[in-house]
Amino acid sequence: MADTRYVCSVDIGGTKIASAIMEYPADGSRPYPVYSAEIPTNPSEGGEVVYSRIEGAIREALASDPDRKVIGVGVAAAGVVDPKTGSIAYANEIMPGWSGIELGPRLREALGMPVAVVGDVQAHGLGEAHWGVGRDRYSVLCLGIGTGIGGAYVEDGRVMRGFHGAAGHMGHIESTSAQGIPCACGRSGHLESVSSGTSIGRMFEERYGRVDESRPTVGRDVNDLCRQGDERAISVIHEAGFALGASLGSLANILDPEVIVLSGGVIHQGPDWRSETWKTSVAEGYASQALDPLLETPILIGELEGDAPLIGAAEHLLASL
């Protein structure tokens, strides 16, 4: 039997920085946090301030119980992480000054312990593949559906990172349903523009006006209406689900994963996203595009939710040792 092990995990998003000490029990069962904390990212203060905040959060986590011997730090970071260095190779305007931050090298130097940095969506996929609904599966395609849509492909426990660290932008593939619709990335016609929570709200509003006149319509509003049997909401959710399913079919034709896992806010925060309307739409879209040998590939709902990136970051650190 192995010893109990401890890994420090950090998940850096545009809204918050979550940190944890993950305990890997000696019996080999699923790791869980023995310490956890959350602080706001306040990204507008710039990359350097955010960096200091991260280093501080890690130091606090490490100091939370000096008797625990922590092996190293696994970091799940927003933006594109250079797989060779662990630096932030690219970030969008949501985190100004984040691009170029030498996150891995600086943390390694400052903390004097092993540090491994991976993209946050890639970490999410690693978490579900190692300890979530994808455990014991050879390969897992994981899609995170929230404000935007991201993804990760994990094979044999290892996440595909790409040459620049940019692999897994599954929301940014051509979707017939999104033709001509502008995407947050600056292109158009992408899956994200029709199946993300943001897009579902926007589609409803464009067609039927605001649900609440005082604010923009979001995915959850449409979900609530759908639950009440509102035909307009049902039609929008059907369209978003079908487009998602069709893209999952395209992705299966490219990657042929053993299982497909859906996660993220849209999946977890509204139980009705698991409703028959949505499930049927996704299945119909999938069947419309997936090739015959791939028609039986299971489409599952992730089970780790917000813990997935922290667990995945810890797994990434362990694999890097």
Residues engaged in binding a second copy (CB under 8 A): 80, 89-90, 138-139, 151, 153, 155, 160-170, 172-176, 179, 185-190, 246-247, 249-251, 253-258, 288-289, 291-294, 297
Between 92 and 235, CB nearer to a second copy: 92
Between 26 and 287, CB nearer to a second copy: 287
Between 56 and 293, CB nearer to a second copy: 293
> Minimum CB separation from a second copy for residue 257, in Å?
6
Between 31 and 86, CB nearer to a second copy: 86
Helix (H, G, I), strand (E, B) or coil at 11: strand
Instruction: Return the half-sphere exposure (C-beta side, CA atoms, 13 A cut-off) of residue 266.
Output: 27
> Minimum CB separation from a second copy for residue 171, in Å?
9
- Measured distance CA(78)–CA(41) in Å, rounded: 11
Between 31 and 171, CB nearer to a second copy: 171
267-272, long-range: CB < 8 A, 24+ apart: 267/145, 267/301, 267/302, 268/302, 268/305, 269/220, 270/219, 270/220, 270/223, 272/223, 272/226, 272/227
> Minimum CB separation from a second copy for residue 151, in Å?
8
- Measured distance CA(320)–CA(315) in Å, rounded: 9
CB 172 within 8 A of CB 166: no
> Minimum CB separation from a second copy for residue 227, in Å?
30
> Minimum CB separation from a second copy for residue 200, in Å?
19
